[in-house]
Structure 1
Amino acid sequence: MSGPIVDLGPASSGPAFHPTVDWLRTRRPVCQGVLPDGSVVWLVTRYEDVRAALADPRLSLSKRHAKGWKGFGLPPELDANLLNMDAPDHTRIRRLVAPAFRPHAIERLRPRVERITEELVAALRPLRETELVGSFIEPLTLRSVCELLGVPLDDQMDLRRWNTEMLSETEGAPEARDNIVRLMRRLIRRRRTEPGDDLISRLVVARDQDGVLSEDELTSLIFLVMVAGYMSSANFIGLAVLSLCGDSAQLAALRSGAAPIGPAVSELLRYDTPEAVAPRRFPVVDMDIGGVRIRAGEPVVLVISSANRDPRRFPDAQRLVLDRAATNLSFGHGPHYCLGAALARLQAETGIAALVRSLPGLRLAQPDAELVWLPSFRFRGLCELPVTWDTVA
Structure 2
Amino acid sequence: MMPDAWTASPYVPLSSISVEPLLGGDYDSDPGLVYKRLRTKYGPVAPVDLLGVPVWLVLGYTEVLQVLQNQGGIWNKHLRYWRARAEGRISPAWPLTPIFESDNSAFHDGAQLRRLRHAWTAGLAPFQDPTRPQAQALERAIEQYADDLITLLAEGGGNGWADLSAQYARPLPLMVSNRLLGFESIQGDDVLMDVWRVLDAGPDATAASQRLIAAVTDLALTKMRHPGDDLPSYMLAAVPGLSVEELSREILMLPGLIGDFTGSLICNTLVEVMGNPDARATLSQGIEEVVNRVALANSPMANLTFRFPAVDVQLGRFVIAAGDPVMLSIAGAHADPQFGGALDPQAMRSTRAHLAWGAGPHSCLGRQLAMRVTTIAVSRLFERFSRVRLAMPPDQLPWRSSPMARTLRSLPVQFELAEYYAPAGHTGFGTVSSPEPMPPVMAVPAVRQEPPRSALWRFLRGLRRER
* TM-score > 0.5, shorter chain as reference: yes
Deviation string 1:83-118 (CA, Å, 9 cap, x unpaired) is 110011000111122023344167433232223223
Q: What is the one-letter code of the residue matched to 2:105? A: L
Aligned ranges for residues 25-36 of structure 1 at < 5 Å?
Answer: 25-28=39-42, 29-35=44-50
CA contact (8 A) 1:80 1:216 kept: no
Matches for 1:154-173 after TM superposition, within 5 Å? 154-173=186-205
Q: Mind listing any 5+ residue stretches in structure 2 that lack a counterpart? A: 1-5, 11-16, 420-467
Correspondence for 1:51: 65
Tell me which structure has the larger Cα radius of gyration: 2
* Structure 2 partner of 1:281: 307
Pairing 1:18–2:32 present: yes
Residues 99 and 191 (structure 1), Cα distance of their counterparts in 2 relative to 1, 3 Å cut: closer
- In the alignment, which residue of structure 2 is the partner of 1:190? 222
CA distance in 2, matches of 1:32, 1:148: 40
After TM superposition, give the deviation of residue 13 of structure 1 in Å: 6.6
Task: Tell me the amino acid that sits aligned with residue 332 of structure 1.
Answer: G
Q: For 1:27 and 1:59, how far apart are their aligned partners in 2?
A: 25
2:98 to 64, 68, 74: 74
Q: Is 102-111 or 378-387 further displaced after alignment?
A: 102-111
Task: Return the offset for 1:52.
Answer: 1.0
Matched residue type, 1:65: Y
User: For the Cα contact (< 8 Å) 2:20–2:49, is it kept in 1?
Assistant: yes
Alignment CA distance shift 1:19-1:244 (3 Å): farther
Q: Please, which moves more after superposition, 109-118 or 98-107?
A: 98-107
Letter in 2 for 1:157: D
User: How far 1:193 sits from its partner (Å)?
Assistant: 4.4
Q: How far apart are 1:34 and its partner, in Å?
A: 0.5
| Amino acid of the structure 2 residue aligned with 1:202 | Y
- Asked if residue 65 in structure 1 is aligned to residue 85 in structure 2, the reply is no
Q: Distance in 1 between the 2:251 and 2:376 partners? A: 24
Residue 300 of structure 1 aligns with which residue? 326
Indicate which of 269, 272, 279 corresponds to 1:240.
269
What amino acid is aligned across from residue 268 of structure 2 in structure 1? L
Q: Point out which structure has higher relative CO (alpha carbons under 8 A, 6+ apart).
A: 1
Paired residues, number:
385
TM-score of the pair, normalised by structure 2? 0.75
Letter of the structure 2 residue corresponding to residue 16 of structure 1: D
| RMSD (CA atoms) | 2.6
Give the drift of 1:226: 2.8
Distance 1:90 1:302 in 2: 19
Instruction: Tell me what 1:93 maps to.
Output: 116
Q: Secondary structure at the match of 2:110?
A: coil
What are the residue-to-residue correspondences of 1:169-248 with 2, within 5 Å? 169-204=201-236, 210-211=240-241, 213-248=242-277
Alignment CA distance shift 1:26-1:152 (3 Å): farther
5+ long unaligned stretches in structure 1: none
**Bigger Cα displacement from structure 2, 40-49 vs 368-377:** 368-377
CA distance in 2, matches of 1:391, 1:227: 31
> Residue 463 of structure 2 aligns with which residue?
none
**In structure 2, distance between residues paired with 1:75 and 1:275:** 14
What fraction of aligned residue pairs are identical, expressed as a percent? Answer: 25
Pair 1:358-2:384 in alignment: yes
